[in-house]
Amino acid sequence: MKAVVSEKYGSPDVLRLKEVEKPVPKDDEVLIKIHAAALNAADWHLLRADPLIVRLMVGGLLRPKHKILGADIAGRIEAVGKNAKQFQPGDAIFGLIAGYGWGGLAEYVCARENALASKPANLSFEEAAAVPMAAVTALQGLRDKGRIQPGQKVLINGASGGVGTFAVQIAKSFGAEVTAVVSTGNLDQARSLGADHVIDYTKENFTKTGQWYDLIFAANGYHPISDYKRALSPKGIYVMAGGSGAQMFQAMLFGPWISMTGNRKMGGVSAKSNQKDLVYIKELIEAGKVKPVIDRRYPLSETAEAFRYLEEGHARGKVVINLD
Ligand X SMILES: NC(=O)c1ccc[n+]([C@@H]2O[C@H](COP(=O)([O-])OP(=O)(O)OC[C@H]3O[C@@H](n4cnc5c(N)ncnc54)[C@H](OP(=O)(O)O)[C@@H]3O)[C@@H](O)[C@H]2O)c1
- Site residues for ligand X, 190-229, by CB under 6 A, read 201, 219-221
Helix (H, G, I), strand (E, B) or coil at 69: coil
C-beta of 105 vs 134, nearer to ligand X: 134
C-beta of 93 vs 269, nearer to ligand X: 269
- Mark the segment that binds ligand X (CB under 6 A) among 81-89, 132-140, 144-152, 190-198: 132-140
Residue nearest to ligand X (CB): 242
- Mark the segment that binds ligand X (CB under 6 A) among 124-132, 157-165, 204-212, 275-283: 157-165
- Site residues for ligand X, 20-49, by CB under 6 A, read 40-41
- 313 binds ligand X, rule: CB under 6 A: yes
- Site residues for ligand X, 235-274, by CB under 6 A, read 241-243, 269-271
* Residue type, position 200, single letter: D
The nearest distance, CB 2 to ligand X, in angstroms, is 25
- 158 binds ligand X, rule: CB under 6 A: yes
CA distance 296 to 104: 17
C-beta of 83 vs 205, nearer to ligand X: 205
The nearest distance, CB 151 to ligand X, in angstroms, is 25
Which residue in the set 310, 320, 321, 323 belongs to the binding site for ligand X (CB under 6 A)?
310
- Mark the segment that binds ligand X (CB under 6 A) among 3-11, 100-108, 258-266, 313-321: 313-321
Residues 142-147: contacts with CB within 8 Å, 24+ apart?
142/167, 142/170, 142/171, 142/174, 142/215, 142/217, 142/239, 143/170, 143/174, 144/269, 145/237, 145/239, 145/267, 145/268, 145/269, 146/215, 146/217, 146/237, 146/239, 147/215, 147/237
Region at 319 (left for phi over 0; alpha for psi -120 to 50; beta for the rest): beta
Burial of 263 (0-12, 13-18, 19+ CB in 10 A): exposed
The nearest distance, CB 197 to ligand X, in angstroms, is 15
From residue 49 to residue 68, what is the string marking binding to ligand X with x (rule CB under 6 A)?
--------------------
- Looking at residue 91, the DSSP 8-state letter turns out to be -
The nearest distance, CB 295 to ligand X, in angstroms, is 8
Cross-strand pairs, 67: none
Strands (E), 189-271: 197-200, 213-218, 232-240, 265-268
CA atoms within 13 A on the CB side of 318: 28
Least Cα distance to 74 among 96, 102, 98, 101 occurs for 96
The nearest distance, CB 130 to ligand X, in angstroms, is 10
- 104 binds ligand X, rule: CB under 6 A: no
The nearest distance, CB 64 to ligand X, in angstroms, is 18
Which residue in the set 12, 64, 75, 161 belongs to the binding site for ligand X (CB under 6 A)?
161
Asked if residue 75 lies in contact with residue 24, where contact means CB atoms within 8 angstroms, the answer is no
CA distance 286 to 280: 10
C-beta of 75 vs 161, nearer to ligand X: 161
Task: Give residues in contact with ligand X (CB under 6 A).
Answer: 40-41, 133-134, 137, 157-158, 160-164, 181-183, 186, 201, 219-221, 241-243, 269-271, 310, 313-316
